[in-house]
A and B are shown apart, each in its own frame.
Chain A
Amino acid sequence: MNERQWQSTDVEVNRSDGTKNSETFTPAPAKDQFQEELVIRPLHSGDIYASFQFRTLWDTDFLQEGQKKVSHYRLFPKSLGQVLSKFSVQELHISFTQGFWRTMQWGQPFIPSPPGAELWVWFHHTVSDVDGNWKELTNVLSGIFCASLNFIDMTNTVQPSASFKPLGLGNATDHRFLRYATLPREIVCTENLTPWKKLLPCGSKAGLAVLMKSEKLFHSSFHSQAVHIRPICQDEQCTSKAWELRQTLNVVFDHYTSGQGKKEWSLFKMFSRTLTEACPLASSSKVYVDITDNPELFELSPATPLLSQAVVLGDRRTYSVYDLTRAETFGQLRSFNLLLRWKGDNMLRPLLHAERYVAGFGLQTGEIHTVIYNNHPYRAFPVLLMDSVPWYLQLYIHTLTVTSKSRDNKPSYIHYQPAKDRHRPHLLEMLIQLPPHSMTEVTVQFERALLKWTEYTPDPNHGFYVGSSVISALVPSMVAMSTNFTQDQPLFSSFVPVKEESSYFVRVYTEPLLVNLPTPDFSMPYNVICLTCTVVAVGYGSFYNLLTRTFQVDEPSPPLAKRLANFIRRIRGVPLLA
C-alpha cells in the first residue's frame, strides 16, 4: 500500500526541531464563534413577529497590511470573506425585504429594512477608486445572492453626507467612502433564501435554521433577510478588532391567513417544523419569547424558569429564555415546540412614525408629501430625513416646505445634491427638530420626465418606483439604556452601539412610491407606418391614376361562328367581316 504525503501549502514557519509531522494532531486555536437566537414577540393585532439572528465572530483582520492573506475559513463563509478582502470593505449591510413594516400596528422592528433590496457599504480609507469597487461589488453580490443587484449603478447610488454612520468601529468618517443604493422593485423569493441559508455554518440542517421553510416564510405579511458585516471590539478594552457577521431574518405571520383568526401560535403552526437540536457549532443557541405585557392573560408552554430582562428600543421587556444547548429543553420527545396563547392587548406605541405619499393628478406634475409623527408627550428630538429620488422625477427644491403644527419649521441642516439626467439621482438630507406630540409635513413638488423610448422597462404601465425615505433619529428612552457593549447581551439588543443612556437610535423607513410616468404607446410606430402607407397608397395612387390613365375603346370579342368565318376568309384572302 502506498502512502501519499500531502504537503500543506501555507507553511511559513519552519520547525526548528526537525521532528516529523506525523504526531498528535493539534487543532488551530478556535478564534471564531457562532451564536444563534430566535426572538418571538406577539403583536397586539394577533400577528406574531419572529426574528432570527445568527452571529459569527472572528478575531482576524482582513484588511490589515503586512499580514498574509487569510486562507483558512472555518465558521465564517469563504465567499463573503474573499469579497471583503478583495474590495477592501469596512462595513457591508444588505437586506432583501418583501412587504412593508407597519410601525403603527407592529411597533418598531429590531432591525429595520425598506421594501426591496438595500445595500450600503463603507469602504476602507485606503481605497483609491471607490466607484469602481462599488460597481464590481454589486455584481459579485448579485451572483452570491441570486438577485439583480447589477442594476445598481450611478443612476441610483447616492453618497449620504450625514445619515448612515458606520455601525461598527471606525475613526474615518469621510463620507466619500460611503455608498448607498436601493432597488425598491426587487423581488425576494426562495432563490434568495437558498444562498443565504448556505452561508450559515450549519446550513439549514441543524439548529434554528431548520425552521426556515420557504413555503411558510413567504406566506407572511412581512419577510426580511439581511446580512450585516462590521468590525467590532474584541473585548472590553477595545484594543483589537473582530469581524462580526450577522444574518438576520425577520418575519411577521398574519393572524388571518396563517393563524386562522386565533391568537394562538406554535412553532409548528408558524414554520411547519419543530426544533430537535441546537447547531453543534454554536456556542449559544437560545429562543426568547416576549412575555412582558399581561402576564396573567398570557399562556406559554413548555414553561421555563429562565427569565431575562433586556432594555431594547427604549423599553424594558421581560423574556422567557429557552436554551437549546441543554438537552432538557427538548423534553422526552426530543422535539421542542412552543405554544403561545394570549388574550390581552400589548401595544407598544411607537414614538416615531412616518408616512409618505404622492399627491397631485395627471402625468405632468405631482407633489411628494412625507409626514413624520412625534408621539412623545413632552420631549422634542431631532430627526435626519434622507430622500433619494430618481432623476426622472425632477424636483423643484424652491417649493420645499417643512411645517410642524401648521407653522414653518426651518431645518438646521440641509444637504441637497441635484440630479443629473441619466447620471445621478437627487439626494436631500435634512435635520429637522420635531416638536413634542406633533405632526411634521415635508412637501416638495416635482415634474415627471419623458424618457427615451429605449429606457422604458418591458412593463412601463406598471409604474416606476421611488425608494423609501430613511429617517434616522435618537429617540428619548423611557428606561436607561446600557452602554456596556459586551458580548453577553442577547443579540437583538446589541445591534446598535449605544453612546448615551437617555436615548436610543432608531431608523424608520417610509413606503416606497409608485409613480406613473408619461408612457408612449409602443405599438405606435407600427400603427403609424400601416396607416401612413395605406393613406399614401390609396390617396396618391388614385390621384396618379386619375391624371395618367388614358381610355381606349375595346371591341368585345366576336362570337365563335363569326371568328371561324373570319379565319376561313383570311385563308381565302377575302376582306373580313365587321
Chain B
Amino acid sequence: TDYNDLYCLFTLVQFTKAGQFFSSGHTNNWAVLVCTSRFWFNYRHVANTLSVYRSVKRLGIPDSHIVLMLADDMACNYRNPKPATVFSHKNMELNVYGDDVEVDYRGYEVTVENFLRVLTGRLPPSTPRSKRLLSDDRSNILIYLTGHGGNGFLKFQDSEEISNMELADAFEQMWQKRRYNELLFIIDTCQGASMYERFYSPNLMALASSQVGEDSLSHQPDLAIGVHLMDKYTFYLLEFLEEVHPASQANMNDLFKVCPQSQCVSTPGHRTDLFQRDPGSVLITDFFGSVRKVEITKDTINLTSPVEPPIQRSGSGDIQIESLTYVDQLPVAEIIHQKPKQKDWHPPDGFILGLWTLILLVFFQTYGIKHLKHIF
C-alpha cells in the first residue's frame, strides 16, 4: 500500500542518514603537528602549530594521540616579554600555548629523520609511547606542517630539507603498512602546493596555503612582542575552527573555502583526486575531532572485595635483621685512601697489536723458524 511504500521510503532516508554517520570507517584519530623553524623571528610558525594543536585538543583528540613537534621554544624564550605564553592575535587575546601542553619532540629532535620515522613507525625500540604514532588501518590522521618552504621542499631548522618525493614515499610506506585509513595533509609554507604534487597513495587529501610560485604571507606583527604572530592562512583557519564544535556538520568543502585570495593574498590550493569519498560528505570532525566509542549499559555490576595484601612471612621475627644506615655524604678519610679502581681487562688495542706483530716479524726474520729450537 501507499503507506507501506511511504514508510519504507522514510526508513530508507533515515538509514542513509545513519549510514552516512558511520560511512567514514575510522575508529580513532591521530594528529601529527610539526613546526620546522628555529629562531625567535619564526615565532609565527610555532603559533601556527599551537593553534592547530589547541583546536584539535578542543575537539576531542587526547594528548596521547597527538605527536607535537616544535623546533624551538618561543614561550619560555628569554626574548618573550610574557613568558609561558604564545599569542595568536596582536591584542594578546588568545594564548594558544595554554596551561596543559605536551610537546613530544622539541628543539634539536625535530629533524627530517625523526619526522619520517614517526610517520613510518620505524623508531628505535626504547622510544616512549608518547613519541610514537601508533596508528592502525582504521585511523584517520591529520598532518600539519609549517615553516619555510620552496618549490618541492620544506626546510627543517635551517640545516636540512625534506622533498616532496620523500614525503610521497613516506605516505606510500604508511599505506602499504596499513597505518592509516584516511589522511588529511595541511601545509602552510611558501609554494606549499608543490609539496602535495607528488602524492600517489590512495585516501589522501591535501590542502596548501599557496600555489607554486606564490609566497604565503604572515598576518600581523605585534609591537610589544616585536615579531609577526601568525601566518594569514592559519589565522583564518583558526578562526574557522573556533566555530566548529564536536557535533558540527561542517564538511571539507567549507574548509576549502577558508582564506580566499582576497584575505590571504596567496591562492590556497587543495587536492582531492586520491580521496575516495566526496569531500562534501567528509566532516571536519573526521580529522580534527575524535571518535570515541561509548557503550551504554543499564546492567548493574557487582565488585568483589579488593586484593588481599600478601601475608607477611611468619619467620621474619626470628631472623635478626640488621638496621640499615645512611651513607656518609662526604667521607673525607675514605676518599683520600680510596684504592684505585680495578680497571676491567680489555684485549690489547690496535696499536699494541701492531707493535707486537712488528716485533715478532722482525724476530722471526732475523732468527728463522728452524733456529728457534736452539733458543727455546
User: Once bound together, how far apart are the Cα atoms of A151 and B106, in whole Å?
Assistant: 11
Assess whether A431 is in contact with B127, with CB atoms less than 8 Å apart.
Answer: no
Distance (whole angstroms) from the CB of B64 to the closest CB of chain A: 11
Is A486 positioned at the interface, with any CB of B under 8 Å from its CB?
no
Total A-B Cβ pairs within 8 A: 194
A190 in contact with B304 given A139-B128, A239-B324, A499-B328 (CB within 8 Å): no
User: Once bound together, how far apart are the Cα atoms of A13 and B39, in whole Å?
Assistant: 61
Assess whether B73 is in contact with A473, with CB atoms less than 8 Å apart.
Answer: no
For B77, the closest partner residue in chain A by CB is: A187
Number of interface residues of A (CB under 8 A): 84
For A459, the closest partner residue in chain B by CB is: B38
Partner of B107, one of A11, A148, A240: A148
Residues of B within 8 Å of A167, CB to CB, are: 326, 329
User: Once bound together, how far apart are the Cα atoms of A167 and B328, in whole Å?
Assistant: 9
Is A413 positioned at the interface, with any CB of B under 8 Å from its CB?
yes
Residues of A within 8 Å of B39, CB to CB, are: 459
User: Once bound together, how far apart are the Cα atoms of A13 and B308, in whole Å?
Assistant: 7
User: Once bound together, how far apart are the Cα atoms of A191 and B298, in whole Å?
Assistant: 40
Assess whether B75 is in contact with A505, with CB atoms less than 8 Å apart.
Answer: no
Partner of B304, one of A21, A170, A175: A21
Query: Which of B142-161 touch A at CB < 8 Å?
Result: 157-159
Distance (whole angstroms) from the CB of A199 to the closest CB of chain B: 14
Assess whether B324 is in contact with A151, with CB atoms less than 8 Å apart.
Answer: no
Query: Which of B308-322 touch A at CB < 8 Å?
Result: 308-311, 321
Distance (whole angstroms) from the CB of B341 to the closest CB of chain A: 7
Is A109 positioned at the interface, with any CB of B under 8 Å from its CB?
no
Residues of A within 8 Å of B341, CB to CB, are: 161, 175
For B76, the closest partner residue in chain A by CB is: A189
Assess whether A143 is in contact with B310, with CB atoms less than 8 Å apart.
Answer: no
Most buried by A among B83, B158, B307: B83
For A132, the closest partner residue in chain B by CB is: B126
Query: Which of B87-119 touch A at CB < 8 Å?
Result: 97-109
Distance (whole angstroms) from the CB of B91 to the closest CB of chain A: 17
Assess whether A25 is in contact with B305, with CB atoms less than 8 Å apart.
Answer: yes
Is A332 positioned at the interface, with any CB of B under 8 Å from its CB?
no
A140 in contact with B321 given A5-B302, A10-B307, A28-B306 (CB within 8 Å): no
Residues of B within 8 Å of A8, CB to CB, are: 304-307
Residues of B within 8 Å of A161, CB to CB, are: 338, 341
Assess whether A505 is in contact with B302, with CB atoms less than 8 Å apart.
Answer: no
Distance (whole angstroms) from the CB of B291 to the closest CB of chain A: 25
Assess whether B338 is in contact with A474, with CB atoms less than 8 Å apart.
Answer: no
For A98, the closest partner residue in chain B by CB is: B76
Partner of A143, one of B130, B303, B306, B328: B130
Partner of B330, one of A3, A4, A175, A382: A382
User: Once bound together, how far apart are the Cα atoms of A143 and B131, in whole Å?
Assistant: 7
Assess whether B324 is in contact with A171, with CB atoms less than 8 Å apart.
Answer: yes
A-B contacts, 25 listed (Cβ < 8 Å)? A3-B301, A4-B302, A6-B302, A6-B304, A21-B305, A22-B302, A29-B309, A139-B124, A143-B129, A146-B103, A148-B105, A148-B106, A148-B109, A151-B109, A161-B338, A161-B341, A165-B329, A171-B324, A191-B101, A194-B99, A214-B84, A215-B85, A219-B82, A412-B336, A413-B338
Which 7 pairs across A and B sit closest by C-beta, in order of nearness? A143-B128, A189-B76, A497-B326, A139-B126, A458-B157, A218-B84, A218-B83
